[in-house]
Amino acid sequence: MCHYFDKLIYLLLSLLSASGQVLRTNLDDRCFLDGGGSTESFFVKESLPLGSLLGTLRVYGDPSRNIELRLQNDPENAVEIERRTKNLILKKSLDKEGIDGPSSLSFNVFCSRIGSDDPGFTIPVQIRVTDVNDNAPEFIGKLPYTLNISELTIVGSRVFQGMRATDKDQPGPFSTVEYSIQPGRFSDYLTFENPLEGSLVLTKHLDYESLRTFKVGIVARDQGTPHRETVSELLVTVLDADDQNPSFYYDRYEVLLPEQIESIKGQKLMVQPKDIKAYDKDRGLKLPVFYSFNSDPNNDNYKYFELNRNTGQIYVKTTIPENEILSPVTLVIKSTQFDNPDRYALTTLTVSRGGIYDRDLKFLQKTYYRRILENVPLNSVIVTLLTNKPSDRRVNFYVSRNEEMNFSVNQKGEVILRKSMDYENKESHIFEVIATDGRRNDSALVNISLLNINDWDPRFRYPQYEFFVPAGNDFNGYNVGVLDVHDGDKGDYVSLEVKGPYARAFDISNSGELSLRDISRINSSETHIVVVAEDSGIPPRRASVPVVVKFASSHQGIERGLTASIYSFLDENILLFLVFGLILSVCFLIICCLIYYICRSKDRRRKQRDANCILYNSSSTVLNDSLPARENQVRSYPKRNEEGSPNPLYEEDTSGLSGRSSSETLMSDPERPALNPMNPRSSKIRRLHTTSNSNEDGHLTRIQWPRNSIPRRVKKLSWEDELEEEENKDRDITTYTESPNISPMKVPSSKSSPSVPKQIGPTIYF
């Protein structure tokens, strides 16, 4: 029955499968999406040009034959379907940011079947726009940027904040802005503290007097590929600060007193080239200044003149005697800022007489002496030649022909060096200087002496020397060779010295002759030394050259040199060997003392252990010798057995104890050996025990020590016991004690034993 039922089910399934295939064969799949989807999505870049293909619909059917496609719900009107195709065409620009066009598109495509009464299908379509780097950064704020900064601002200070640029692209690399300074003339003055922030830092010192305003280019660039950038300008204005001293318009002023000087009291003097005047070099501040004499207490010429504090004009204060100011005098004038006395400037005013005092042109000295170093730099002022007409601009100076190439004299009378000097070529320069005003002449002699400096190192003729000593010439005093050395400094002499491991084997003279001094110090056929040359200059200069000395092959000579070197080493270091020997001797004595101490300590502990053993063995013998037979002394107490039976010492009645009257009842151990009566040590121990077990009346105490009532092994009390135990282990000896009970058992007196006296005190044996 079940078999027929299975066949029926199989037949039904076969029929269903055949009908499904027929249905699939006749199914119309037009307007269906390929893959079974229900929507279409496309991704396009926002930079896609108009008329470009957005995508192709994956719908079954041919729009040119059996299906029809048309758009629905397209509010942007940005897409169209290409005729007789499934292609979507862009009609309007796209923009991810939504500024120049839609950022995304959503519409429907209606598909209808041609030649069929079936309703059509609506296919939703999504067009998603992806971002591209199509926007450049834009600066925010008023452009161009301006910055006012003081010239005293410290390099490294933050001088500008808040500069910002934004990029309209979507967040990411396309909208991340980096800042930088555009390369240019003034780009080294500023830099950004962080490329991602708009904070500027000063990188170079500013000076209002040399640079008052400048511009730099600011670049804002995104991180796209390729990147987009925007350039703006930053106008920097440097603010002046009080960092400059006042300054006079001229370095030097002159005034000529008139002939009738008695009648000019209170009169203003005519100063050349112009009236004295100073200004503040901080042009942006223009701070006021006042004038005063920087008077010298030793100069009385200031008392004849008066200086206006505000204008700087010079007046004659009092009458000048005829015997004063016969030669030109120099007055120092000081200009000071009102608000800061530390800011000031100095100038000189030369006052001279006119009239009869201004007749002949003369030098104030006929000869000028100077001593200078030979390395004085060029254009240095060597000496100043003074005349009696320092304010006369007609006076000119000339140098004699023999030195006109080396020196020159300017209109101020300053002798200037024009050519380098060399002491080795010429030690002194003597020349004549002529002064003329066009009508009168005068001359002076200038003597310049050069001071030598040590500017040359000693120089050897060759960079390396090599000498050969033939066989048979290796004796002390043999002249090995000559080294040529020269020093370029005039007057310096050179001293030579031998350096190196074989320096003691050679000797060298200041003339460069190298000779053997001690052949015994040489233990090889080739030696290397260094010859050092030092000149006598201040500071001295040195030079060195390597020298190789080769000897003819001779084994005997090498052995002789080696032996001599060993003896020489011993002779030179004898003190060192003595010190080491003394230290070793002291160490040996200390070790011997330690060994002796250890042996004595072991021997003392051994003797102490033997004495304890003798005392232990003799204690029982003393008791056996002094007491009667065992059966008359005490009843034995059984030990606690393994089953835990009680000890009769604590439970049984002790009234049955018996013993002699007036004597101590002690327990003896028959297993212990008896003391030798002939041994004096045994007798001594016996006397000791007898004395210790008797009371004041001469009676023994009635103290009974049960056997094995206390463990035999004694606790270790010190480190000596531990050492002793280790020694006993080596000798197979174990230390025991005779029941060292802390509180002995007292035998109470009873009626049956009235003869037992009262106990005096316990005696404990170990």
**Least confident window among 23-27, 242-246, 402-406, 667-671:** 667-671
Three-state SS annotation for 623-677: HHHHCCCHHHCCCCCCCCCCCCCCCHHHHCCHHHCCCCCCCCCCCCCCCCCCCCC
Q: What pLDDT digit, counting tens, does each position of 274-319 carry?
A: 999 999 888 778 889 999 998 776 678 888 899 999 999 999 888 8
pLDDT at 241: 84
CATH number at residue 178: 2.60.40.60
Range of lowest pLDDT (2-6, 186-190, 398-402): 2-6
In the predicted model, what is the mean pLDDT of residues 354-383?
A: 82
Cα 153 to Cα 172: distance, rounded to the nearest angstrom: 37
- Is there a single domain that holds both residue 676 and residue 586? yes
Q: Does residue 642 carry a pLDDT above 70?
A: no
Query: Does 696 have pLDDT greater than 50?
Result: no
Per-residue pLDDT band at 46 (split at 50, 70, 90): confident
Length of the chain: 766
Look at residue 14 and tell me if it is in a domain: no
Of 174, 205, 239, the position where a domain reaches its end is 239
| Chain centroid to CA 493 | 47
Checking if the pLDDT of 754 tops 50, the result is no
In this prediction, residue 685 carries a pLDDT of 40
Phi, psi of 580 (to 5 degrees): -65, -40
What is the number of other CB atoms lying within 10 angstroms of the CB of residue 145? 19
Beta bridge partners of 399: 433
Place of tokens 């960079």: 463
- For every residue of 38-78, DSSP letters joined together read S-EEEEEETTPPTT-EEEE--BSS-TTTTEEEEEES-TT--
Give the per-residue pLDDT at 747: 41
Q: Quick check: 714 and 738 in contact, CB under 8 A?
A: no
Mean pLDDT across 236-248 = 88
d(CA 638, CA 709): 10
Position 91 in a domain: yes
Q: Which of 200-214, 230-244, 382-396, 588-602 has the lowest mean pLDDT?
A: 382-396
Strongest mean pLDDT among 362-376, 567-581, 673-687, 718-732: 362-376
Type of residue at 220: A
Q: Which residues pair with 530 in a beta bridge?
A: 499, 546
Cβ–Cβ < 8 Å for 446, 398 = no
In a domain, 216, yes or no: yes
- Please report which helix (H) or strand (E) contains residue 370, including its range: strand 367-373
Whether 652 and 745 have beta carbons less than 8 Å apart is answered as: no
Domain identity same for 283 and 198? no
| Inter-residue contact 45 to 54 (CB < 8 Å) | no
User: How many of the other CB atoms lie within 10 Å of CB of 675?
Assistant: 21
Verify that 613 and 726 share a domain, yes or no.
yes
- Given the DSSP bridges, would you call strands 396-399 and 407-409 parallel, antiparallel or unpaired? unpaired
From residue 12, how far is each of 1, 5, 7, 18, 146 by CA, in Å? Answer: 17, 11, 9, 10, 93
Residue of higher predicted confidence among 206 and 730:
206
- Are 301 and 432 within one domain? no
Six-digit token pair at 495? 């001293």
Q: How confident is the model at residue 7 (pLDDT cuts 50, 70, 90)?
A: low
The tokens 């112009």 sit on which residue? 274
Inside any domain, residue 577: no
- Strands 428-436 and 465-469 come out as unpaired
pLDDT of 677 higher than 70: no
302 and 390 in a single domain? The answer is no
Residues 257 and 234 in one domain: no
Residue 727 contacts residue 606 (beta carbons within 8 Å): yes
Region of residue 739 (left: phi > 0; alpha: psi -120 to 50; beta: else): left
pLDDT of residue 698: 44
Contact 76, 95 (CB under 8 A): no
Band of residue 6 on the pLDDT scale cut at 50, 70, 90: low
CB atoms under 10 Å from CB of 440, counted, come to 13
| Residues 501, 547: Cα–Cα separation, whole Å | 12
Is the predicted pLDDT of residue 258 greater than 70, yes or no?
A: yes
Lowest mean pLDDT among 374-378, 387-391, 599-603, 639-643: 639-643
pLDDT at position 648 is 43
Quick one: 706 exposed, middle or buried, by C-beta within 10 A (0-12, 13-18, 19+)? Answer: buried
H helix or E strand, kind and range, residue 428: strand 428-436
Q: Are residues 417 and 437 in the same domain?
A: yes
- Residue 155 inside a domain? The answer is yes
pTM across the whole model: 0.37
Least confident of 103-117, 282-296, 385-399, 730-744: 730-744
Spatial contact of 254 and 303, defined as CB atoms under 8 Å apart: no
- Count of CB atoms situated within 10 Å of the CB of 111: 23
Provide the pLDDT for residue 432: 92
For range 591-602, the mean pLDDT:
92
Do 441 and 303 have their domain in common? no
Domain shared by 537 and 633, yes or no: no
Res 290: pLDDT: 94
Find the range with the poorest average confidence among 11-20, 335-344, 511-520.
11-20
> What average pLDDT does the structure give for the chain?
77
Give 336's strand partners: 290, 344
Report yes or no on 696 lying in a domain: yes
Quick: pLDDT tens for 276-288.
Answer: 999 988 877 888 9
Long-range contact set of residues 447-450: C-beta below 8 Å, sequence gap at least 24:
447/367, 447/368, 447/369, 447/370, 448/370, 448/371, 448/372, 448/382, 448/383, 448/407, 449/369, 449/370, 449/371, 449/372, 450/371, 450/372, 450/373, 450/374, 450/421, 450/422, 450/423, 450/426
Of 111, 130, 149, the residue that ends a domain is 130
How many domains does the chain contain in total? 6
| pLDDT for 656 | 39
Q: How confident is residue 439, by pLDDT bands cut at 50, 70 and 90?
A: confident
Q: Which of the residue ranges 377-381, 545-549, 714-718 would you say has the lowest mean pLDDT? A: 714-718
The candidate with the shortest Cα–Cα distance to 393, out of 249, 276, 253, is: 253
Structure tokens at 535: 């000149």
Q: Which of 25-39, 346-360, 512-526 has the highest mean pLDDT?
A: 512-526
Instruction: Determine, yes or no, domain membership for 6.
Output: no
Q: CB-based contacts of 44: which residues, under 8 Å, 6+ apart?
A: 54, 55, 90, 94, 127, 128, 129, 130
91-136 residue pLDDT tens: 888 888 788 888 888 999 999 998 888 888 899 999 898 888 878 8
Rounded Cα distance, 538 and 452, in Å: 10
Query: Do 406 and 529 share a domain, yes or no?
Result: no
Contact (Cβ atoms closer than 8 angstroms) between residue 368 and residue 446: yes
CB of 358 closer than 8 Å to CB of 352: yes
Q: What is the pLDDT of residues 160-200, one digit of tens each?
A: 988 899 888 888 888 889 999 999 999 999 999 998 888 99
pLDDT of residue 554 exceeding 60, the answer is no
Query: Residue 369 carries which side chain, given as an amino acid letter?
Result: Y
Residue 24 lies in a domain: no
> Band of the pLDDT at 615, cuts 50, 70, 90?
low
Give dist(CA 349, CA 306) in Å, integer.
13
> What pLDDT shows up at residue 77?
85
> For position 404, what pLDDT does the model report?
74
265 and 198 part of one domain: no
The predicted model gives 373-395 an average pLDDT of 86
Under 8 Å between Cβ of 681 and 610: no
Average pLDDT over residues 417-422: 88
In this predicted structure, the answer to whether residue 347 has a pLDDT above a threshold of 90 is yes
Half-sphere CA count of 40, side-chain side, radius 13 A: 24
- Supply the DSSP string of 732-762, one letter for each residue: T-----S---SSPEE---BTTBTTPPPP---
So what's the pLDDT on residue 248?
93
Of 195-199, 575-579, 667-671, give the lowest mean pLDDT range. 667-671
d(CA 109, CA 698): 141
On the question of pLDDT at 763 being above 80, the answer is no
Burial of residue 445 (number of CB atoms within 10 Å: 0-12, 13-18, 19+) = middle
Percent of the chain with pLDDT over 90: 24
What are the angstrom distances between the C-alpha of 92 and each of 73, 78, 134, 206? 16, 5, 17, 55
* Domain closes at, from 418, 451, 484: 451
Query: 430 is in which domain, residue-wise?
Result: 367-451
Q: Considering only 354-363, 648-657, 728-737, which range has the smallest mean pLDDT? A: 648-657
Residues 225 and 144 in one domain: yes
